Structure 1
């Protein structure tokens, strides 16, 4: 009997450990590295904007290459030397100060659903707030700057797999299409594997300098409200 109890306690402890680890989001470092003693670390971004949402079948924005894509629109108000984007699912018990929470997230915050995240950072040719409209965003020219599927830097999901995503992109000032200028951007996300995208998620956009006025929203309508 004692042996069975010990086994059950061990299983419970393991499950608790996995869940706790899944909710632990570490510092977000940029491309700049600094050596501290024997270790080399990525210098943490100084400006991070966070968004919590919930994705479910049927509310995808576009089907591209056979995959259902969802978008989070981002207004970047100033020239940036680099940007970092990361996403984790589920949000679980993670607490992030100052995060914007969508209505869909609030309604589904207790959901245990999660998905294998795959993200893209895309820049449009819209550089003025006055030109941001639903139709304008739909017809804009979008350039994929960077993408990521699985990142070893991100915490494990409840399944135990490191299927959360993180990317960093450095501005290429010599190329107008790849420079990080003022304008409308979006984070595209889906699941790398075949299946539906369903679950809560936390998305963050970060920079090594302060960018006052960054706005993140699931829709163009909500983005305009924050400008």
Structure 2
């Protein structure tokens, strides 16, 4: 009997350790390389903005190609050489510095629901803060700069699968449509698999240079409120 109890306890401990390990978030680094003496290192992201949210069926923003898409709007107030975006679900015990917490996340922070993340980084043709409105956003031209489904750099989900997402996009100064200029961006997210998007998530936007004034929000109203602070 004691042997069986010890065996069961070992399974519980291993399961708990595995879950905690899966929720550990590593430092977010860029793809830009810099030579320091004989060594070549990756330049770390020095500016990271974190957003905690909760997605649920019925509050999607758009249906594209049969998939329900959700958006997080991002105001970028300065030119950037690169932007990194990553998303994990569920949030679990991931630690972030001064994250933006949505009301939906606060109400559902203890939820164990999660989804297979699929993300896009999109840039609009809105380049002035004064021109941001819901009507302008709805009629804006949006260009997908980069996308990602599964990333081995991200923590595994509780299922043990590497279904969290990470992308890095370098600015192309030779192409106005692909350059990271001042303007309104958005992170689009859905699930790669067929089904509903439901669960807590952590989304982060990062840059290798300081970008004071970056604002992230789920709605345009909240974005404008954040920009006015």
Name the structure 2 match of 1:157.
157
Quick check: 2:190–2:197 contact (8 Å CA) kept in 1? yes
**Partner SS, residue 26 of structure 2:** coil
Q: Normalising by the residue count of structure 2, what TM-score does the alignment of the two structures yield?
A: 0.95
Q: Distance in 1 between matches of 2:151 and 2:40?
A: 18
Q: Distance in 1 between matches of 2:40 and 2:176?
A: 32
Q: Distance in 1 between matches of 2:97 and 2:123?
A: 27
Report the CA distance between 1:8 and its aligned residue.
0.7
Q: Cα deviations across residues 110-155 of structure 1 (Å, max 9, x unaligned)?
A: 0000000000000000000111001111110000000000000000
Say whether residues 1:194 and 2:194 are aligned partners.
Answer: yes
Report the CA distance between 1:9 and its aligned residue.
1.6
Q: Cα deviations across residues 162-219 of structure 1 (Å, max 9, x unaligned)?
A: 1100000000001010000000000000000011000000000000000000000000
Q: Which runs of 5+ in 1 are unaligned?
A: none
Q: Cα deviations across residues 2-21 of structure 1 (Å, max 9, x unaligned)?
A: 22112212211221122101
Name the structure 2 match of 1:28.
28
Q: Normalising by the residue count of structure 1, what TM-score does the alignment of the two structures yield?
A: 0.96
RMSD: 1.8
Q: Distance in 1 between matches of 2:88 and 2:35?
A: 28
Q: Distance in 2 between matches of 1:90 and 1:131?
A: 35
Say whether residues 1:147 and 2:143 are aligned partners.
Answer: no
Quick check: 2:25–2:95 contact (8 Å CA) kept in 1? no
Report the CA distance between 1:43 and its aligned residue.
2.9
Spell out structure 1 runs of 4+ moving beyond 6 A.
Answer: none
Q: Distance in 2 between matches of 1:125 and 1:186?
A: 12
Q: Cα deviations across residues 83-110 of structure 1 (Å, max 9, x unaligned)?
A: 0000000011222111000000000000
Q: Which runs of 5+ in 2 are unaligned?
A: none
Q: Distance in 1 between matches of 2:165 and 2:185?
A: 18
